[in-house]
Amino acid sequence: LTFSSLSRQIECGLSKGYHEDEIIDAVIHEVLLEKLNTACANEKERQDKKKNAAPRVTTVNTVQSGDPPTTTEKKTVLKQSTVTLPPDSRLHKSS
């Protein structure tokens, strides 16, 4: 809210016959709402930046086939392991 906007609202309220206390309460309410909206937007921006700047860990699942079964079953034996790769430091430069 700009000063001129608040000034026009006060003048408009007075010209319509509103009591001065009502106008003051309404102006204070609007200023506080504006401050709250700004604070919320700043906090959301901070959280988004923090979330986007956090290093991400990449998990890759690897599958290897084992030796063929020695029995007459026709199943393939698979070994599975999980590998965790460290974050790529080239992608997360500090600014």
pLDDT given at position 55? 73
Fill in the amino acid letter for 55.
P
Q: What are phi and psi of 47, to 5 degrees?
A: -65, -40
Whether pLDDT at 95 is above 50: no
pLDDT given at position 15? 94
Terminal C-alpha separation, the chain: 32
The predicted-structure confidence for 36-94, as pLDDT tens digits, reads as follows 999 999 999 999 888 887 777 777 777 666 665 555 555 555 566 666 666 655 555 54
pLDDT given at position 84? 67
pLDDT given at position 76? 55
Helix/strand/coil for 25: helix
